C-alpha cells in the first residue's frame, strides 16, 4: 500500500521508462568503453576517490557488537 | 501524551510522527506502518544500515496495539540542505541513492527523497527518516524520483553551472527547485547530454504535459526493477563525478592575513588556554573558515560547529573531516549578516539559526576575525553585534583587529567616500558597546599584531 501524502508527479512516473532506457544505454556504453580501454591498456590507475561505491555491504553477523 | 510536543515538521507522512518527551526526541509509529516496521526490523534491514552508519540507530521504547514508540540516537545539531557545502550536498544525494538501491535489492523502496531526510552527524551524512522505507511494488516506477531530481540532482547541477551559491535556493523552495524553472536555468548545451536531457528537460516536459490531467486519464507506465536500478546507478555515477567549476579563494586566506607565524601561534595558545580553563565541551566557531583554529584546540571537544560564509571554505573543512575521520566537527555555511530563517508551514518546520543555537547552547562561541567584517562590510554597529553574540553564548572569545590592522585598512579603503562614516570603528567604542552585554573576564593583546583577544561572559540583560 502506498501513502499518497505527496504528489509524485504523473509525468515523472511516466517519464521514468524513457529515463531508464537512456540510463541503460549510457551505462552499457560506458561499461563497453571501460572494457575496451582496459583491453588496450589505456585504463589509468584509479585515483583515490572521495566517495565510495553505491553498494552497501550486507549485515555481517560476526562483526555485530 | 501531550500532543503539542509533536514536532512542527512531522505532519506529512501519516505513518507516524516525531515528538519531544522531556527533552528527548522520539518517534511514534501508527498501525498503518506496523507491517513495514516489523519487516524492516526482523529482516535485519535496519541493523544492516545501523552497522554501516547509514541510518540513525533507534531503540524500541514501547509497543502497544495502536502505537510503537522508538527513540533515535541524539543528534546535537541539525544543519539544513541550504547550509551544506557542495560535497556535503553530494554525499547526501549519494547516500539517498545508495539506500534506494539497497532497498530495492531487499524488496523495499524509499517512498520519499527529500534532502531534509539527511543530517550530518559524527562527520558524515546519515539518513534520519526511519519511516521512509516502504514495500517495493513489482514493476512500479520510483515514486520519489521527481523529488530526488528537485531536491538533489537539480541543486547540484545548478551549483556546477552557476556556483555553490545556488544551493541556497533550497531555503526558499522547501520542496525542491521547481522542475520547469530548473530546466530553464540550465545552459542549452545540457540538452545535448542524454543524461541531463532525460532526467531534467524531458522530466520537465512530461510534468508540464500531464499536470492538467485532473481526471486521472493517463496511467503511469510500468518500470522493471532492472530499469529502476539503471536510473539509480546512472544518477549515482553522474553525481559522484560532479564538481564545481568555480575556483575557490579560501586557500591562501591565512597567507593574506597579516599574521606572522609567531602571532598565529600566540593567538591559538590564548584560545587554547581559555577553552581548557572553561572545561569546554561544545563550541561554535562563527567565521571558522576551514576549521584551522578548532583543530588547534587540544581539549577533547564533544561537538564543534564550524561555520563560514564561504561555501568553499566549508567544503574544504568537510573534506578534511572526511580525510582525518573526525567525528566532533559539524561544518555548515552561515552568513552572520543573514542567518538561516525559520521556514515552512507556520514558519515552524525548519528552525532558524538563532533558535537552533539557543537549543544547542555552546559552552563557547568563537568569533575570530569576524567583527571587522560585520562592522565594516555589513555596517552592523558594535552594539548590534554584541546583542547578537549575547543571545546564544555562554562565553564569547572575540578577536578585535584595531584600526591599523591591514585587513581593516583594506575594508575601509574599499568604502571610498563613505570611509569617514566608520570613524566609530575603534577599540574604545568596541569595549564600551560590548560592556552593555558582556563582562570582560580576560583581555590579551597579540604581540606583533594589531589584534586584541577578549574572553567575555554575557550579563543578564535582555
Which residues on chain A are in Cβ contact (under 8 Å) with B91? 51
How many independent structural domains does chain B possess?
3
Residues 6+ apart with CB under 8 A from B50: B57
**Does B63 lie in the same domain as B90?**
no
Could you tell me if residue B248 is inside a domain? no
Question: Are B326 and B387 contained in the same domain?
Answer: yes
Q: What is the pLDDT of residue B156?
A: 98
Residue B246 lies inside a defined structural domain of this protein? no
Give the CA count within 13 Å in the CB-facing half-sphere of B170: 29
Residue A8 contacts B where some CB pair is shorter than 8 Å: yes
Distance from the Cα of residue B372 to its chain's centroid: 25
Does position B249 have pLDDT exceeding 80, yes or no?
no
Helix, strand, coil percentages, rounded to 5, for chain B: 45, 20, 35
Contacts of B197 in chain A (CB under 8 A): 22
Using the Cβ of A36 and the Cβ atoms of chain B, whether some distance falls under 8 Å is answered with no
Is the same domain home to B334 and B452?
A: yes
Q: How many CB pairs under 8 A join A and B?
A: 153
Residue B295's region, left for phi above 0, alpha for psi from -120 to 50, else beta, is: alpha
- Residues B42 and B176 reside in one and the same domain: no
CB-based contact A23 B231, cutoff 8 Å = yes
Average pLDDT over residues B99-106: 96
Domain co-membership, B274 together with B171 = no
Report yes or no: B75 at the A interface, CB cutoff 8 Å. no
> B29-57 in b/e burial notation, b at 16+ Cβ within 10 A?
bbeebbebbebbeeebbbbbbbbeebbbb
The residue from B20, B41, B72 where one domain ends is B72
* Same-domain pairing of B309 and B380: yes
Q: Please, which residues have CB within 8 angstroms of residue B310's CB and are 6 or more apart in sequence?
A: B248, B249, B250, B289, B333
Residue B366 located in a structural domain: yes
Paired with B381 in beta bridges are: none
Q: What is the pLDDT of residue B213?
A: 64
Mean pLDDT (chain B) is: 91
pLDDT score of B13: 86
Q: Choose among B324, B320, B336: nearest CA to B251.
A: B320
Q: Is there a domain that residue B307 lies in?
A: yes
- Residue B26: give the domain boundaries: 3-72
Mean pLDDT of B297-304: 93
8 Å CB contact of B194 and A60: no
User: Cβ(A43)–Cβ(A37) under 8 Å?
Assistant: yes
Give the C-alpha separation, B402 to B427, whole Å. 6
- Binding-face residues of B in 138-197 toward A, CB within 8 A: 141-147, 149, 175, 179, 194-195, 197
**What is the model's pLDDT at position A38?**
85
**pLDDT value at position A59?**
58
What was the pLDDT predicted at B262?
84
Note the pLDDT of residue B217.
Answer: 58
Q: Are residues B132 and B199 in the same domain?
A: yes
CATH at B368 = 3.40.50.150
Q: Are B458 and B440 in contact (CB under 8 A)?
A: no
Q: Both B28 and B121 in a single domain?
A: no
Verify whether the Cβ–Cβ distance B198 to A17 is below 8 Å. no
Mutate to test the interface with A, among B146, B151, B197, B207 (most CBs of A within 10 A): B146
Q: pLDDT at position B187, please?
A: 97
CA distances from A63 to A21, A60, B52, B379 (A): 39, 6, 11, 57
- In Å, how far is B442's CA from the nearest CA of chain A? 43
pLDDT of residue B211: 76
pLDDT for position A62: 44
Which of residues B241, B266, B282 is at a domain's end? B241
Give the residue from B182, B216, B241 where a domain finishes: B241
Q: Answer yes or no: is pLDDT of A16 > 80.
A: yes
Q: Which pLDDT does position B255 carry in this prediction?
A: 54
CA distance A62 to chain B (A): 12
- Asked if residue B233 is part of any domain, the answer here is yes
Is the pLDDT confidence value at A63 over 50? no
Residues B61 and B137 in one domain: no
Does the pLDDT of residue B85 top 90, yes or no?
yes
- Asked if B334 and B429 sit in the same domain, the reply is yes
Distances in Å between the alpha carbon of B35 and those of B97, B104, B135? 24, 17, 9
Residue B329 confidence class, pLDDT cut points 50, 70, 90:
very high
Phi, then psi, of B333 in degrees rounded to 5? -85, 130
Phi, psi of B13 (to 5 degrees): -90, 120
- B242 vs A43, B55, B155, CA distance in Å? 21, 24, 12
Domain membership of residue B415 (yes or no) is: yes
Q: Is B247 contained in some domain?
A: no
B270 HSE (CA, 13 A, CB side): 22
The 10 Å Cβ neighbour count of residue A52 is 10
pLDDT of residue B22: 86
What is the C-alpha separation between A62 and B19, in angstroms, rounded? 35
Chain A residues whose CB is inside 8 A of the B319 CB are 50
Three cell numbers written together for B27: 518517534
Q: Are residues B10 and B157 in the same domain?
A: no
Answer yes or no: do B236 and B144 share one domain. Answer: yes
Amino acid at each position: 500500500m502506498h501513502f499518497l501524502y505527496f504528489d509524485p508527479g504523473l509525468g515523472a512516473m511516466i517519464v521514468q521508462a524513457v529515463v531508464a532506457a537512456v540510463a541503460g544505454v549510457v551505462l552499457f556504453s560506458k561499461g563497453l568503453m571501460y572494457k575496451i580501454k582496459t583491453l588496450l591498456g589505456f585504463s589509468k590507475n584509479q585515483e583515490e576517490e572521495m566517495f565510495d561505491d553505491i553498494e552497501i555491504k550486507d549485515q555481517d553477523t560476526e562483526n555485530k557488537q | 501524551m501531550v500532543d503539542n510536543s509533536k514536532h512542527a515538521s512531522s505532519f506529512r507522512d501519516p505513518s507516524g510522527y516525531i515528538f519531544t518527551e522531556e527533552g528527548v526526541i522520539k518517534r511514534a509509529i501508527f498501525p498503518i506502518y506496523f507491517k513495514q516496521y516489523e519487516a524492516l526490523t526482523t529482516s535485519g534491514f535496519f541493523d544492516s544500515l545501523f552497522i554501516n552508519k547509514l541510518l540513525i540507530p533507534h531503540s524500541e521504547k514501547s509497543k502497544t496495539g495502536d502505537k510503537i514508540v522508538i527513540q533515535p540516537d541524539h543528534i546535537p545539531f541539525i544543519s539544513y540542505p541550504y547550509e551544506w557545502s557542495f560535497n556535503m550536498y553530494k554525499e547526501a544525494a549519494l547516500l539517498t541513492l545508495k539506500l534506494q538501491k539497497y532497498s530495492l535489492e531487499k524488496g523495499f523502496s524509499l517512498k520519499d527523497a527529500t534532502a531534509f531526510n539527511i543530517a550530518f552527524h559524527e562527520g558524515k551524512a546519515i539518513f534520519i527518516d526511519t519511516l521512509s522505507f516502504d514495500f517495493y511494488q513489482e514493476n512500479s516506477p520510483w515514486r520519489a524520483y521527481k523529488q530526488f531530481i528537485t531536491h538533489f540532482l537539480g541543486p547540484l547541477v545548478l551549483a556546477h553551472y552557476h556556483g555553490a551559491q545556488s544551493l541556497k535556493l533550497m531555503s526558499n523552495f522547501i520542496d525542491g527547485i521547481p522542475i520547469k524553472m530548473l530546466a530553464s536555468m540550465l545552459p542549452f548545451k545540457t540538452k545535448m547530454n542524454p543524461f541531463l536531457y532525460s532526467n531534467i528537460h524531458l522530466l520537465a516536459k512530461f510534468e508540464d504535459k500531464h499536470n492538467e490531467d485532473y481526471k486521472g486519464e493517463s496511467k503511469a507506465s510500468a518500470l522493471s526493477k532492472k530499469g529502476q536500478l539503471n536510473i539509480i546507478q546512472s544518477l549515482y555515477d553522474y553525481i559522484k563525478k560532479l564538481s564545481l567549476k568555480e575556483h575557490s579563494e579560501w586557500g591562501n586566506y591565512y597567507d593574506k592575513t597579516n599574521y606572522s607565524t609567531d602571532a598565529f601561534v600566540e593567538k591559538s595558545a590564548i584560545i587554547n588556554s581559555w577553552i581548557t580553563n572553561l572545561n569546554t565541551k561544545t563550541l561554535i566557531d562563527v567565521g571558522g573558515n576551514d576549521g584551522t583554529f578548532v583543530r588547534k584546540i587540544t581539549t577533547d571537544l564533544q561537538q564543534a560547529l564550524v561555520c563560514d560564509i564561504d561555501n568553499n571554505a566549508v567544503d574544504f573543512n568537510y573534506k578534511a573531516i572526511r580525510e582525518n575521520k573526525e567525528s566532533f566537527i559539524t561544518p555548515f555555511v552561515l552568513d552572520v549578516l543573514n542567518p538561516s530563517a525559520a521556514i515552512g508551514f507556520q514558519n515552524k518546520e525548519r528552525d532558524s539559526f538563532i533558535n537552533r543555537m539557543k537549543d544547542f547552547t555552546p559552552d563557547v562561541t568563537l568569533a575570530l576575525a569576524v567583527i571587522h567584517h560585520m562592522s565594516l562590510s555589513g555596517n552592523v554597529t558594535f552594539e548590534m553585534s554584541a546583542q547578537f553574540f549575547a543571545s546564544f553564548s555562554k562565553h564569547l572569545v572575540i578577536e578585535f583587529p584595531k584600526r591599523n590592522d591591514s585587513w581593516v585598512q583594506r575594508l575601509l579603503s574599499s568604502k571610498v567616500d563613505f570611509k569617514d562614516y566608520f570613524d566609530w570603528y575603534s577599540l574604545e567604542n568596541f569595549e564600551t558597546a560590548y560592556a552593555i552585554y558582556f563582562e570582560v573576564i580576560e583581555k590579551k593583546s597579540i604581540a606583533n599584531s594589531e589584534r586584541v583577544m577578549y574572553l567575555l561572559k554575557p550579563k543578564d540583560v535582555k
